[in-house]
């Protein structure tokens, strides 16, 4: 089938055969399918959707466009987590070493931030010497030594995804659940996983702002991943306020190390992190639901997870004493100042996206993939919804470089906060979708 005939079938809302999808994606990589044809296909999918079978076929074709890693020589299960992105979402920094301490191997391939959401790789770039793009040999050695390694996508994993995403980004077709599904899962399947847990955010700081849209994405991801042979579950988690009390790269690393060592653990962050870890332990068969939760709590409380984190950082080129001396290594902004409340009341709502864009305005995030970022800036000591404040009380601290930066960061932060007489209750984990179909 010619590319234009394939596009016409989707344009006319006719079913696509798996073999034709595979040929079209292969053509995208070898150049026999043009960017214009790929854009036309993406727009046809945007308007006409794809069946579950078509989504599975697209995901597998994109996985097979490059190298697929093989971890079959490891003595334990291989798993990972994917988050749809949020503000103060540093879960990966704790989840990978907690799971490693439970006997799960975690070769985590992460991304950089764009827009209001922070990127896991940008956080690790705060650590001097840490290599986010190691060769495959170092990646494998680190996974074997630490039980986990958090790195960036290599050029030979799912190259079709990079090509198609770049086209979607400039053709207004990013917000398509079938294409989002294939983009996320093709990379995870190429990583050679046996199990996956998805953290699908919902709320004011989420890509999908309503529970209905978040559930649709979660169910698509779970059904397609399992249809492609990857045992997968999902938690839908609240992003109506920053998850951690810090937002900004080095600040979130500090928050994560404090979490792992028990120095400070944000309550909501702890619950989401442990719930995701327990789900993976359950999915991989290393424990029942009750046993899994106890296992991950013990891995954290015993210090075993912190030890795994330290081994990973050292193996990937970072300081071997990073946990003990993180403040000597992490970049710090030259100025820190409180942002205070302008009225008495209760924090009744937060525009979480607005908080994230405040970090971007400080220089700590990107509006374009090519932007450089300042790892030192951001907010910490962020208070959440439901906290009672009086005029002059601290809402957060801002870490900044210039007075103009402070003025803008304060303006954005105050604008993001609503102070009222009462606060709504947002369930932290409103839905759970496991491979068996349990809700």
Q: Retrieve residue 389's tokens.
A: 């404040």
Q: What is the pLDDT of residue 81?
A: 97
Q: What is the pLDDT of residue 164?
A: 94
Could you give the CA distance from residue 389 to residue 226 in angstroms, rounded to a whole number? Answer: 47
Region 89-104 average pLDDT: 98
Q: What is the pLDDT of residue 101?
A: 98
Q: What angle separates helix 249-261 from helix 267-283, to the nearest 10 degrees?
A: 70
Of 27-31, 150-154, 315-319, 416-420, the range with the lowest mean pLDDT is 150-154
DSSP designation for 317: T
Q: Which of 84, 393, 99 is nearest to 214 (CA)?
A: 84
Which residue is catalytic, options 116, 162, 188, 353?
Answer: 188
What is the band of 85 on the pLDDT scale with cuts at 50, 70, 90? confident
Domain covering 79-325+429-433 in this structure, CATH number: 3.40.1030.10
Which residue is catalytic, options 183, 186, 232, 245?
Answer: 183
Percent of the chain with pLDDT over 70: 98
Backbone angles phi, psi at 130, to 5 degrees: -65, 130
Residue 183 annotated among the catalytic residues of the structure: yes
Region 275-299 average pLDDT: 96
pLDDT greater than 80 at residue 437: no
> What confidence tens digit (pLDDT) does each residue in 416-430 have?
999 999 999 999 999
Residue 201 annotated among the catalytic residues of the structure: no
Q: How many CB atoms lie within 10 A of CB 189?
A: 25
More confident residue, 207 or 396: 396
Q: Which of 263, 255, 258, 273 is nearest to 382 (CA)?
A: 255
Q: What is the pLDDT of residue 113?
A: 66
Could you give the CA distance from residue 143 to residue 135 in angstroms, rounded to a whole number? Answer: 13
Residue 67 annotated among the catalytic residues of the structure: no
Burial code of 58-90, b = ≥16 C-beta within 10 A, e = fewer?
A: bbbbbbbbbbebebeebebbbbbbbbbbbbbbb
Q: What is the pLDDT of residue 224?
A: 96
pLDDT greater than 90 at residue 225: yes
Which residue is catalytic, options 10, 55, 63, 81?
Answer: 81
Q: How many helices (H) and strands (E) in the chain?
A: 17, 12
pLDDT greater than 50 at residue 439: no
What pairs with residue 339 in β-bridges? 396
Could you give the CA distance from residue 64 to residue 58 in angstroms, rounded to a whole number? Answer: 10
Residue 80 annotated among the catalytic residues of the structure: yes
DSSP designation for 341: -
For residue 118, CA distances in Å to 91, 271, 325, 367, 402 come to 11, 20, 24, 11, 22
What pairs with residue 83 in β-bridges? 199
What is the band of 207 on the pLDDT scale with cuts at 50, 70, 90? confident
Q: What is the pLDDT of residue 70?
A: 95
Which regions of 351-386 does DSSP assign to beta strands (E)?
Answer: 378-380
Spell out the residues 6+ positions from residue 56 whose beta carbon is closer than 8 angstroms to its own. Answer: 18, 224, 227, 228
Could you give the CA distance from residue 438 to residue 63 in angstroms, rounded to a whole number? Answer: 27
Could you give the CA distance from residue 19 to residue 7 in angstroms, rounded to a whole number? Answer: 14
Which residue is catalytic, options 20, 64, 80, 199?
Answer: 80
Residue 404 annotated among the catalytic residues of the structure: no
Which residue is catalytic, options 55, 187, 268, 412?
Answer: 187
Q: What is the pLDDT of residue 17?
A: 98
What pairs with residue 195 in β-bridges? 79, 231
CATH superfamily of the 332-420 domain: Pyrimidine nucleoside phosphorylase-like, C-terminal domain (3.90.1170.30)
Q: Retrieve residue 250's tokens.
A: 């080095």
Residue 112 annotated among the catalytic residues of the structure: no
pLDDT greater than 90 at residue 114: no
More confident residue, 395 or 119: 395
Residue 72 annotated among the catalytic residues of the structure: no
Region 278-287 average pLDDT: 96
> What confidence tens digit (pLDDT) does each residue in 329-350 have?
999 999 999 999 999 999 999 9
Q: Which of 86, 76, 52, 17 is nearest to 355 (CA)?
A: 86
Which residue is catalytic, options 59, 65, 83, 204?
Answer: 83
Residue 186 annotated among the catalytic residues of the structure: no
Region 47-55 average pLDDT: 97
Q: Which of 219, 266, 215, 263 is nearest to 237 (CA)?
A: 215
Which residue is catalytic, options 10, 55, 63, 82?
Answer: 82
Could you give the CA distance from residue 104 to residue 61 in angstroms, rounded to a whole number? Answer: 28
Region 255-272 average pLDDT: 98
**Residue whose token pair is 């798996």:** 18
**In the chain, what are the domain boundaries?**
3-48, 79-325+429-433, 332-420
Could you give the CA distance from residue 97 to residue 77 in angstroms, rounded to a whole number? Answer: 14
pLDDT greater than 80 at residue 278: yes
Q: How many CB atoms lie within 10 A of CB 192?
A: 18
DSSP designation for 78: B
Q: What is the pLDDT of residue 436?
A: 62
pLDDT greater than 80 at residue 102: yes
Which residue is catalytic, options 110, 120, 131, 204?
Answer: 120
Could you give the CA distance from residue 397 to residue 340 in angstroms, rounded to a whole number? Answer: 9
Q: What is the pLDDT of residue 309?
A: 98
Spell out the residues 6+ positions from residue 436 whose beta carbon is closer than 8 angstroms to its own. Answer: none
What pairs with residue 222 in β-bridges? none
Strand duo 148-152 + 106-110: pairing: parallel
Region 142-156 average pLDDT: 92
Residue 270 annotated among the catalytic residues of the structure: no
């Amino acid at each position: 089938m010619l590319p234009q005939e394939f596009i016409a079938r989707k344009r006319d809302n006719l079913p696509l055969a798996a073999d034709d999808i595979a040929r079209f994606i292969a053509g995208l990589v070898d150049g026999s399918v043009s960017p214009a044809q790929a854009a036309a296909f993406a727009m046809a999918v945007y308007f006409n959707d794809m069946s579950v079978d078509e989504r599975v076929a697209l995901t597998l074709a994109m996985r097979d466009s490059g190298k697929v890693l093989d971890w079959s020589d490891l003595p334990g299960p291989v798993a990972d987590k994917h988050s749809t992105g949020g503000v103060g979402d540093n879960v990966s920094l704790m989840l990978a070493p907690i799971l490693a301490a439970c006997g799960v191997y975690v070769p985590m391939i992460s991304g950089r931030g764009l827009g209001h959401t922070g990127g896991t790789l940008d956080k690790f770039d705060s650590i001097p010497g840490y290599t986010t793009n190691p060769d495959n040999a170092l990646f494998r050695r680190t996974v074997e030594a630490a039980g986990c390694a958090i790195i960036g996508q290599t050029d030979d994993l799912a190259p079709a995804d990079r090509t198609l995403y770049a086209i979607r980004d400039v053709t207004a077709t990013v917000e398509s659940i079938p294409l989002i599904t294939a983009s996320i899962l093709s990379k995870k399947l190429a990583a050679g996983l046996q199990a996956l847990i998805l953290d699908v955010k919902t709320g004011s700081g989420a890509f999908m702002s309503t529970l209905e849209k978040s559930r649709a994405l979660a169910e698509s991801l779970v059904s397609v991943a399992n249809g492609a042979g990857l045992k997968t579950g999902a938690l839908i988690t609240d992003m109506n306020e920053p998850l951690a009390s810090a937002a900004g790269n080095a600040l979130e690393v500090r928050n994560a190390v404090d979490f792992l060592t028990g120095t400070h653990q944000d309550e909501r962050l702890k619950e989401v992190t442990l719930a995701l870890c327990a789900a993976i332990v359950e999915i991989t068969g290393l424990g029942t639901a009750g046993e899994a939760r106890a296992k991950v709590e013990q891995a954290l409380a015993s210090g075993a997870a912190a030890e795994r984190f330290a081994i990973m950082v050292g193996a990937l080129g970072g300081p071997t004493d990073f946990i003990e001396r993180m403040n000597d290594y992490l970049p710090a902004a030259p100025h820190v100042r409180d942002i205070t409340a302008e009225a008495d009341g209760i924090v009744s709502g937060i525009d979480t996206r607005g908080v994230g864009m405040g970090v971007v305005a400080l220089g700590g995030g990107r509006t374009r993939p090519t932007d450089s970022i300042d790892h030192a800036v951001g907010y910490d000591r962020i208070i959440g919804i439901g906290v009672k404040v009086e005029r002059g009380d601290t809402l957060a601290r801002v870490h900044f470089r210039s007075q103009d930066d402070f003025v803008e960061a304060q303006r954005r932060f105050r604008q993001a906060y609503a102070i009222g007489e009462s606060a709504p209750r947002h369930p932290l984990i409103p839905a759970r979708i496991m491979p068996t179909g349990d809700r």
